[in-house]
Amino acid sequence: MKKIISVILVATLLLSLASCLYIFPQTTKPLPPAETPQNRSTVKPIDPTWTPPTLEKGASLLPSIADVVAKVYPSVVAISTEVSTQSLFYGPQRQSGAGSGWIIDKDGIIVTNNHVVEKASKVTIELSDDRI
C-alpha cells in the first residue's frame, strides 16, 4: 500500500513539474540589442547670453505661504451634515458627516465635494469667523 502511495506521489510531482514547464516556459530569452542613440542635429544650443532673472534680496517669485493663507482663509468653510437612514433591524438612524468647502463669490456660493453633501437631510455651514 505504501508503495502505491509513493508511486502516485512521484507521478503527481512529475506531472505537476511537466505542467509548470509547459505553462511557464523558460523566459530567459536574450533581449534584442539596445539601439544606440542617434546624434540629433535639431537640438539648438543654449543661448550663452541668457541670464536668469535677478531678484532683490529677500524677494521671491512666489508669495509666501502665510500670505496665501491670510488671503484665502476667510473663504474656507467647515461643513457638517446629517443623513437619515432606515435600517431593517434598527429602524431610522442618523449619520453625521463633515467636510470642507470654499466660498467662491459674493453671493455665497460654496464649492465642496459631492460626497460631503450627498443624501444629506441637514447641512450646516460654519465660516472661518465661527458664524454658522
Q: What is the pLDDT of residue 27?
A: 63
Provide the CATH number for the domain around residue 70. 2.40.10.10
Q: Is the pTM of this model over 0.95?
A: no
Q: What is the pLDDT of residue 90?
A: 86
Residue 69 located in a structural domain: yes
Residue 51 located in a structural domain: no
Helix, strand, coil % over all residues of the chain, rounded to 5: 30, 25, 45
User: What is the C-alpha separation between 107 and 72, in angstroms, rounded?
Assistant: 16
Q: What are the 10-residue block averages of pLDDT along the chain, 132 residues in total?
A: 87 88 71 68 75 73 85 93 88 91 92 92 92 83
What are the helix (H) ranges across 24-123?
Answer: 65-72, 114-117
Q: What is the pLDDT of residue 26?
A: 66
Q: What is the pLDDT of residue 50?
A: 81
Residue 114 located in a structural domain: yes
Q: Which amino acid is at 105?
A: D
Q: What is the pLDDT of residue 24?
A: 74
Residue range of the domain that includes 118: 65-127
CB contact at 8 A, 103 and 75: yes
User: Helix, strand or coil for residue 37?
Assistant: coil
Residue 12 located in a structural domain: no
Q: How many domains does the chain have?
A: 1
Q: What is the pLDDT of residue 20?
A: 79
Residue 90 located in a structural domain: yes
User: Helix, strand or coil for residue 25?
Assistant: coil
Residue 22 located in a structural domain: no
Residue 96 located in a structural domain: yes
CB contact at 8 A, 82 and 121: yes
Residue 34 located in a structural domain: no
Q: What is the pLDDT of residue 97?
A: 93
Q: What is the pLDDT of residue 38?
A: 65
User: What is the C-alpha separation between 79 and 33, in angstroms, rounded?
Assistant: 60
